[in-house]
Chain A
């Protein structure tokens, strides 16, 4: 089962307000390793057609790994507002 299908099994309550914002300018200017692309267990980071880093925050498992792994402080990351985000039924 691919990762998108796996995420499809989880319960998400999606906020219109994003809880992760990328300072793309930093990614482009200083980051060579681009850790977010491979550390995220939900595989949510992607470089778009324009070559800019994007994150599909709707599928976020809220583990914080991207935040901890970004050496360049390019992420503005907080938990989704109460009532939003992933809601595990098992945990």
Chain B
């Protein structure tokens, strides 16, 4: 059996980040990716939070093919017939170094694959790994087509579905309640139109999230990110939520309805639809993170459930890149000590624990549970918008005093035992 130092299953951001680290250390690393190129199968919202990973591979980010730094943050709470939009204007987001950038995966992943190859790593595309080879309790390599390839360490970066790793018992099969479906359209718009429409300086970008009516009350939300000369417009919806809704909705129609909303239509006006994509998202939180390492293997990125949906922030790419980085360090270390057993690789989990990756997932451990409450996506967007609607309304009848409108609205929609209990639970977010 042909053998290399390290094989990486999957050339997404997690796998490529690990490969870059290993190739930089001069190790012999082989990434096997099923797509025609890295990124060909990958979908994100999305924006990459660079702040947590800026010091990881600092030399890379200067030349990365980012779309736009996000300088405007917007969120809309959509009730039925009334919605409230909040904008956060903050100097700290509007000035360099920027905290986050919008990205398109086909571009970003391909570029990272090029960086890996420049460092001497191998990225084999158009090849599907068919099996993770296990001998006793030890992962010894992979099978791809007719080829068996051995490795001291196999890094599993196959993404959210974890088809190969669950088959050999390294993790569970994905369950509906721990996953969301994300899907989106890319609509091309001239960059000058994007800047005008979103009130941006040249090169700057906006991120706009939507909650409530957009998912018809199901757990999830809508998103809109501005790229260089396109926008990404999409929906994330809990897989269980789709099942539990009484009147079922064909998922694809939600996005069409979203685009038809009066608040959205003028934003997408004139945009040319160029791509439609979909992908699953891990949302089980830290409780669903599998064992991260064992004899001869490590798990990184979505394959290990390292992603976090905290309503206003959706993160997975920064976790993927960071876990790849720490995996590379652990493998290089294990190789230098000649011990690629579980004990030799244990440092990987320790470094994730002392980094933002497992710390942030730990901090957010109650979020998956809180988000299971459908009222978050029905009652609250409606209540906020309903109250503001009242405040702004001048009708044919004499108006109530402002204070009694507010107090009445707040009392009705927020000062009841159920809501207070829920708001109390949300302090954990």
Contacts and interface: CB of A to CB of B under 8 A. Distances in A.
Interface string A37-64: 1111111000000000000000001111
Given A86-B40, A91-B104, 8 more contacts: A9-B276, A35-B243, A42-B276, A63-B183, A68-B179, A88-B39, A89-B275, A91-B39
Given A38-B242, A38-B250, A64-B160, A91 B106 contact: yes
Given A38-B242, A88-B42, A65 B278 contact: yes
Nearest to A40: B251
Given A63-B280, A78-B163, A91-B42, A41 B183 contact: yes
17 contacts: A7-B276, A35-B243, A38-B251, A40-B251, A41-B181, A64-B160, A65-B251, A65-B280, A68-B174, A68-B175, A79-B163, A82-B125, A82-B127, A87-B41, A90-B274, A90-B275, A91-B104
Interface string B28-58: 0000001111011111100000000000000
A85 to B, nearest CB: 7
A13 B39 CA distance: 15
Given A62-B41, A88-B42, A41 B252 contact: yes
Contacts of A88: 39-43, 105-106, 275, 277
Interface of B: 34-37, 39-44, 104-107, 109, 125-128, 144-145, 160-161, 163, 174-176, 179, 181, 183, 185-186, 230, 239, 242-243, 248-252, 273-280
B36 A83 contact: yes
A63 B273 contact: no
Interface residues of A, number: 37
Contacts of A78: 163
Contacts of B252: 3, 6, 40-43
Contact of A90 (B160, B161, B277): B277
A50 to B, nearest CB: 22
B181 A65 contact: yes
Contacts of B163: 78-79
B183 A1 contact: no
